[in-house]
Structure 1
């Protein structure tokens, strides 16, 4: 069964008996964290932000760290949305995962000679900005289709599998 972040947050908000207990219960079982995904739009809702503060100790950006969000055009970076999530995570002592390359937000590049330098620039720029602020980087994300086959992407087309 698949639940969206909004559905989970709505359920937690509507059921105060479990509100504020999920992360503690998970940690009591010996696990490191209980996480969710979020972005600045969700965090701007006080109820959602409160649920994230009380029930989760790890955040993954929903879209704000994806390539097309942080570098909407080649060499032009926009970190507004990701900065919001990073600041929230730091001020609330949450672990933060980075997802810099995730389907479908890949760069639009058509030649293999260019892609390596574009990747190096993107990774270096994002990495320098968030050095020491990200718990772990999810480098390869959403590489499989729903049927389990490899998804075609600019990376696999130009660099191979």
Structure 2
């Protein structure tokens, strides 16, 4: 009897080892980013107009294979949805949300309140003068209630306020700030929560590894929390270069933001290989510099030496994200392939950049497999 029991238990143990080995083999062989990172965080991408409208089917197959989260690059910004007061156009936003639902994706709305790409009427009366504080608050409330309310229970998270702090940690002197004061941030989060109490709400900004901005954002979020404002995550726009920011400073910010008791999201990841005419520009979209040939050195492709730096840089950052996967809930690339990246035209128009994980033909770059392997071998 004892021999039979021992044999039986040994058989069960061997079967368990065999199945575990099969599972590990299957995992190691995956070529999908979303499958590799599923145990850790969502891996997402931004969709542009052509992709949302279904005019770029090849790219959308890449999206469905590699990503399980999507964010609206432009089609949900206030200037697109409400060009004239009270005249809401949800055609593209509806298609964006529908695609996400059909493919079981974590859907992000971007962005409710942003000083840039907001319609001019938002801040002025019929004579072109600034509206009163009360009028602007009412316009904010109506916009947020209408947009968030339309997608209640369907859009999982919202970038409620975008880029309200500048690099020295002070408030950006936007029209929202000039007319309402810093309370516009609290009110925006309040209105969004009222419109959909179950949606996640985020603050999103660039240059979030800059110590001055880090301190300003921490101070702002602490004040919001003291006022009872619901804020679920801080979005760190990941517009990085080959030598900026320092990985250590990025990590310092991940720790500082997560210490607030909120999630951290890397929201707009891309890696420019091109020289910047102004290293202090961050991702300030209003910057626009004259084209110079020396600012566009790789029109015929990247030299091997730059590719080596590109791969190392991406791997360094993804290893950082994996290290802090307990507080990072999403990493989103700002675009799918190099051809549709905004970095080709910012801050200098007409350049050829290579900032994303898929090339201009939608083929994964060699670094994609290396990133996947880092995820699959974590803690092994």
Aligning the two structures, in what range does the TM-score lie when normalised by the shorter sequence? 0.7 to 0.9
Q: Secondary structure at the match of 1:131?
A: coil
- State the match for 2:116 in structure 1: 104
- Give the ranges of 4+ consecutive aligned residues of structure 1 lying more than 4 Å apart after TM superposition: 145-149
- State the match for 2:47 in structure 1: 38
1:130 and 1:71 mapped to 2: Cα distance?
A: 16
- State the match for 1:125 in structure 2: 146
Gaps of 5+ in 2: 1-28, 124-129, 183-380
Q: Is the 8 A contact 1:86 1:133 kept in 2?
A: yes
TM-score calculated relative to the size of structure 2: 0.35
Q: Is the 8 A contact 2:82 2:88 kept in 1?
A: yes
1:146 and 1:81 mapped to 2: Cα distance?
A: 33
Q: Flag the structure with higher strand content.
A: 2
Q: Secondary structure at the match of 1:98?
A: strand
Q: 1:36 to 1:147 in 2, by over 3 A?
A: farther
1:19 and 1:78 mapped to 2: Cα distance?
A: 40
Gaps of 5+ in 1: 1-17
Q: Is the 8 A contact 2:115 2:175 kept in 1?
A: no
Q: Is the 8 A contact 2:115 2:176 kept in 1?
A: no
Name the Cα RMSD after superposition: 2.1
Report the Cα offset of residue 145 of structure 1: 4.4
1:3-51 deviations in Å (ceiling 9; x for gaps): xxxxxxxxxxxxxxx9951111111xx3231011113312420111111
Q: Is the 8 A contact 1:37 1:62 kept in 2?
A: yes
Q: Are 2:163 and 1:154 equivalent residues in the alignment?
A: no
Q: 1:153 to 1:23 in 2, by over 3 A?
A: same
- State the match for 2:73 in structure 1: 62
- State the match for 2:134 in structure 1: 113
2:30 and 2:117 mapped to 1: Cα distance?
A: 34
Report the Cα offset of residue 146 of structure 1: 6.4
